[in-house]
Structure 1
């Protein structure tokens, strides 16, 4: 198990349990206690948890809001999709993230990479952010606010309690003033003719703005959303550069997307 994989596993266990014991965690991950102590020390230095005698506890708000998402379907696929999406982001990029379970995993993967948890990624002393993240999702903001390696911009707006997303004119006002290198969008449907969609029209209009302000648009979705429709259209497929999904994606749809110039990454 690589360092990045251990860090991801540790944070997932911490989110589920609220605290970690060094000896129990070492046994669960089949590594030495010394390795777990070093990992916890490094994660504490990055303000991703709080060290205690013999273990660690969650760092304030950083795992409170996102717990609502822990029961989401296709969780393993979404983590793999997020890891692949982060590989498409360059150091120093300005990244837009809308709300959703998959983009929440993207935010976590970005945090790990910025903190040096990914093999080969440069560690940082916290003085210079590795990424700038612009988001309208309160839960993503809650996770990234304590990450010194990430410059966080939150749009403002009216909160939708069902999805933690900020919407409305205040949200649009901020997005109209920024330029993104890449927008990573979670969606509720992707139809070859109609494009990408979500369930709520106010969220769709904000996601459309993310796409318009970005140089590249990456759609992250598990295969259950492919070929499906939802109520509100975000944008057409001509605005999408990459789709990252899981290996159960229908081959005919993948071929169709590839035929119109959209890169499809399956994991």
Structure 2
């Protein structure tokens, strides 16, 4: 197992359990305790965990795993969700994207659609996510509009007044929203308040809001509110969502699509 793969696995375990001890992690990953100690020390230096005697803790209750370590989590579900979201977009639309692993997969699914391979442009993409802009900028069928702003390293998203200034001057047909959590009562939320503020403005400037979220994020709350549930038109999630959970969103006026 490479170091990057091991770090991803360690951080996934840490997020799920809240704390890990060295021996437990060594057994789970089938490596030596010395290797885990080194990994914990190096991750602590990057402020991605809190080192303790004999183990590690997450960084508080609103811990957010940086995007580069989340790409392999629930990958199959995210691919199915992204395909379903991409199918909702029509040629010629202006589409807004927030950052996140699921929205990145949606952008890739759009790039793979043969009916969008031609046109001038086939789609206008508005995003504050540097990684999404980078992936789509080389594709001539997409007109890419980047908001500007200050880069947030955890999510590659641009935030702040500069980002808000651009979004305030444009309108979009659809906003594809990645979330930290989505609850039928408390709405869509994110871990960071500045990120939430830009995502909120993106929603306000769009005629339709689509939340792309796997089922583990549903019925949960994160720190900062993005928008109320009634502002969301469609939720695209995976087949593992319970009927009870889906019914809660449907009762709140949200169309639920299970991919």
How many aligned positions are there?
193
**What is the CA deviation profile of residues 82-139 of structure 1, one whole-angstrom value per residue up to 9, with x for unaligned ones?**
10001111110000000000000011011111xx2xxxx2642xx6111000000000
Give the Cα–Cα distance (whole angstroms) in 2 for the partners of residues 141 and 123 of structure 1.
Answer: 17
Displacement of 1:69: 5.7
2:221 to 192, 214, 229: 229
> Which residue is 1:102 aligned to?
102
* CA contact 1:69–1:101 (8 Å) conserved in 2: no
Question: Would the alpha carbon gap of residues 89 and 69 (structure 1) be closer, same or farther in structure 2, given more than 3 Å must change?
Answer: farther
2:68 alignment counterpart: 68
C-alpha contact (below 8 Å) 1:167/1:203 kept by paired residues: yes
Question: In the TM superposition, what whole-angstrom CA distance separates every residue of 1:120-170 from its partner, at most 9, and x where no partner exists?
Answer: x2642xx61110000000000110110101000000000011110000000
Local SS of the residue matching 1:153? strand
- The offset of 1:68, in angstroms, is 2.9
In the TM superposition, what are the counterparts of 1:89-238 in structure 2 within 5 Å?
89-113=89-113, 116=114, 121=115, 123-124=117-118, 128-238=120-230
- Contiguous gaps of at least 5 residues in structure 2: 1-66
The equivalent of 1:251 in structure 2 is 243
CA contact (8 A) 1:183 1:216 kept: yes
Alpha-carbon distance in structure 2 between the residues aligned to 1:110 and 1:123: 9
TM-score, with length taken from structure 2: 0.72
The question of 1:262 aligning with 2:254 is answered yes
Query: d(CA) in 2 for partners of 1:143 and 1:186?
Result: 17
Summarize deviations over 1:160-184 as a string: whole Å, max 9, x none: 1111000000000000011000000
Given the superposition, is the C-alpha separation of residues 254 and 156 from structure 1 closer, same or farther in structure 2, using an over 3 Å criterion? same
Q: Distance in 1 between matches of 2:257 and 2:215?
A: 12
The 8 Å contact of residues 243 and 264 in structure 1, kept in 2 or not, is answered as yes
The range that moved more, 72-81 or 131-140, is 72-81
Q: Deviations over 1:182-206 (max 9, x none)?
A: 0000001111211010100000000
Flag structure 1 segments of 5+ consecutive residues without an equivalent. Answer: 1-66
1:134 aligned counterpart, secondary structure:
strand
Quote the RMSD (CA, aligned, Å): 1.4
Deviation at 1:72, TM superposition (A): 3.0
1:242–1:265 Cα contact (<8 Å) kept: yes
Question: What is the SS of the residue equivalent to 2:241?
Answer: coil
